[in-house]
Amino acid sequence: MTDKLTIRDQDVLLVVDIQNDFCPGGALSVPAGNEVVPIINRLARRFQHVVLTQDWHPRGHQSFASSHPGAKPYETIEVTYGAQILWPDHCVQGTPGAEFRKDLQIPHAELILRKGYHREIDSYSAFYENDRITHTGLAGYLRERGFTRVVMAGLAFDFCVRYSAEDAKREGFDVVVIEDACRSIDVEGSVQQTRQRFSKLGIACAPAETVA
Ligand SMILES: [Zn+2]
């Protein structure tokens, strides 16, 4: 996509999980995750409306390998809602790892949407938890605000950005993912699967420089 993306009043920038634990030095570090921060800061200045998401787990969360005796991080287990990858403990409520990066500078963000706070359900998506039934409330918020297009950036491309993008589409929003403002974890082909899903669903990817 080489066309300019002209920002309108009905557009919202959704900035996904720019938290210490997802950046180098953090508990669930996304390689080069910190590199997106200046890109997202610049991008956010072009948007009147910005929403931030924050992964926000209680201690002993089901998605933590440490909650399952004998399990190791990055293994997949079956839980009530299907397959769940186990992660290192990360983004525990009230800890420094759960805080936004200090260099993330978006003072005009209008909403901070926290997710993953139910102990028994993980939530990659900003719209639905991983049981695919429990709403976070974000779709209703965006609709009430009159937004029709969601532009996304953040961490990680192949998990929380991916599922948020798919669900935004499912909820009837136009979706654009700013791919150079994302970084990936890449577990078992997850980046390739993300690209396949995006092309199947008509989710556009565009570089940050196209945002006018
Ligand atoms: Zn998490």
149-155 vs 11-16, strand pairing mode: parallel
Among residues 23, 91, 160, 205, which one is catalytic?
160
Distance (Å) from CA 179 to ligand 1 centroid: 21
Q: What is the mean pLDDT of residues 88-116?
A: 98
Among residues 11, 23, 89, 115, which one is catalytic?
115
Distance (Å) from CA 37 to ligand 1 centroid: 19
Q: Which residues pair with 36 in a beta bridge?
A: none
pLDDT digits (tens, 9 = 90+) for 62-75: 999 999 999 999 99
Residue 1 has pLDDT above 70, yes or no: no
Q: Which residues contact 199 (CB under 8 A, 6 or more apart)?
A: none
Distance (Å) from CA 9 to ligand 1 centroid: 31
Is residue 160 annotated as part of the catalytic site, yes or no?
yes
Output b/e per residue, 153-186; b: 16+ Cβ within 10 A.
bbbbbbbbbbbbbbbbbebebbbbbbbebbbbbb
Task: Write out the two tokens for 106.
Answer: 């978006």
Using a pLDDT cut of 70, give the percent of the chain over it. 99
pLDDT digits (tens, 9 = 90+) for 36-64: 999 999 999 999 999 999 999 999 999 99
- What is the per-residue pLDDT for 3? 79
Distance (Å) from CA 212 to ligand 1 centroid: 32
pLDDT digits (tens, 9 = 90+) for 106-140: 999 999 999 999 999 999 999 999 999 999 999 99
Is residue 17 annotated as part of the catalytic site, yes or no?
yes
Among residues 17, 21, 55, 167, which one is catalytic?
17
How far apart are the C-alpha atoms of 39 and 109, rounded to whole Å?
16
